[in-house]
Structure 1
Amino acid sequence: MNLEMQQFKAEFFKALAHPLRIRILELLSDGDKSVNEIQTLVGSEGSAVSQQLTILRAKNIVTGTKEGNKVIYTLKDPMIIELLAVARQIFNNHLVDTITILDKFKEVDEEAAATPKN
């Protein structure tokens, strides 16, 4: 059972491992959208958006529903919104850590510059 869960997680995260797919999911977090709406919002050509939507659909991360002559995409599981929020928080924590380290280096450099040299 554990191996199946690890495999699922690996495949799931592989499906998320593209900046455009993440952007699409962020947009869908705000509500359902058509392909044209997504294309306009990401500023990308249709083939790139369609390709990424196909991958997300194949992994059951989004669903597409035909409405007239367009397909409306929605998140399959609303917990994706929480996952993206957690990823954003991890990024922010990483950024804070990086800034703290850089500030320490800056202090050391300033102290070294202020110390008279013989």
Structure 2
Amino acid sequence: MNYEVQQFKSEFFKALAHPMRIRILELLSEGEKNVNELQAILGSEGSAVSQQLAVLRAKNVVNSVKEGTTVIYSLRDPLIKELLGVAKRIFDNHLVSAITMLENMRSGD
């Protein structure tokens, strides 16, 4: 059982291992969006956005629902928003530590 959980975690984090996919998830945590909306916000080509959405769909991170000719994307699990927030707090902690270290180095000169 442990192996299956570890495998799931590994695959899940692989799905997050791209800056555009993270940004897409951040945008989807604000609400549902279609490819055109994501493309406009990201300032990226539709094919690049579609490729990243395909990865997120394949890893079951996002849902897609077709409405006419438009596909609407949403987070599969609302906890992803919380996970992204925790990741940002971890980044902020590292940043604060790095700034403190630099300030200590400067004051030591």
| Cα distance in 2 for residues equivalent to 1:45 and 1:36 | 9
| Cα distance in 2 for residues equivalent to 1:59 and 1:83 | 16
| Cα distance in 2 for residues equivalent to 1:24 and 1:104 | 37
> How far does the alpha carbon of each residue in 1:61-115 deviate from its partner, in whole angstroms, 9 at most, with x for none?
0011011111000000000000000000000000000001000000011xxxxxx
Larger relative contact order (C-alpha < 8 A, sep ≥ 6)?
2
Which amino acid in the other structure matches residue 27 of structure 2? L
2:95 corresponds to which residue? Answer: 95
Please give the root-mean-square deviation of Cα atoms over the aligned residues, in Å.
Answer: 0.5
Shift of 1:49: 0.2
Shift of 1:56: 0.2
> How far does the alpha carbon of each residue in 1:15-38 deviate from its partner, in whole angstroms, 9 at most, with x for none?
100000000000000000010000
TM-score normalised per structure 1: 0.91
- Structure 1 runs not aligned, ≥5 long: 110-118
Identity of aligned residues (%): 67
Which amino acid in the other structure matches residue 82 of structure 2? E
| Cα distance in 1 for residues equivalent to 2:90 and 2:52 | 24
TM-score normalised per structure 2: 0.99
1:52 corresponds to which residue? Answer: 52
| Cα distance in 2 for residues equivalent to 1:4 and 1:101 | 40
1:30 corresponds to which residue? Answer: 30
- Structure 2 runs not aligned, ≥5 long: none
Secondary structure of the 2:38 match is helix
Give the paired residue count: 109
1:14 corresponds to which residue? Answer: 14
Secondary structure of the 1:65 match is strand
Larger Rg: 1
